[in-house]
């Protein structure tokens, strides 16, 4: 299976830098990297209202991303704590 290219929006990168503690940030980065092989892993949920937007959980944090199957691109749109990410 060919892998997808993972892109992270600038705003999502800033949100990732703000995640504390550092161990949680490392787990989130690992989870994002795994999206290159499996863009819709077990536990991912399609968000209502958006054509190709999904979310995955990593502890108390959520990673919101979109998938473009034609161009084989996964774009991370938002990263945040579960109480704030959907606002």
More confident residue, 85 or 6: 6
3-state SS, residue 53? strand
**Cα 34–chain centre separation:** 10
3-state SS, residue 64? strand
The full set of domains in the chain, from first to last, is: 5-81 (3.30.2310.20)
Q: The whole model's pTM is what?
A: 0.91
Residue with the two structure tokens 């209202």: 49
3-state SS, residue 79? strand
Tokens standing for 31?
Answer: 């989870």
More confident residue, 27 or 87: 27
At 1, the pLDDT band (50, 70, 90 cuts) reads low
Cβ–Cβ under 8 Å, residues 63 and 56? yes
Of 19-23, 37-41, 50-54, 68-72, which range is least confident? 50-54
Beta bridge partners of 12: none
């Amino acid at each position: 299976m060919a892998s997808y290219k993972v892109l992270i929006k600038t705003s999502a990168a800033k949100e990732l830098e703000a995640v504390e503690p550092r161990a949680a940030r490392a787990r989130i980065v690992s989870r994002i990297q795994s999206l290159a092989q499996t863009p819709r892993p077990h536990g991912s949920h399609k968000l209502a209202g958006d054509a190709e937007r999904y979310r995955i959980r990593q502890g108390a944090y959520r990673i919101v991303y979109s998938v473009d199957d034609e161009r084989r691109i996964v774009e991370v749109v938002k990263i945040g704590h579960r109480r704030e990410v959907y606002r």
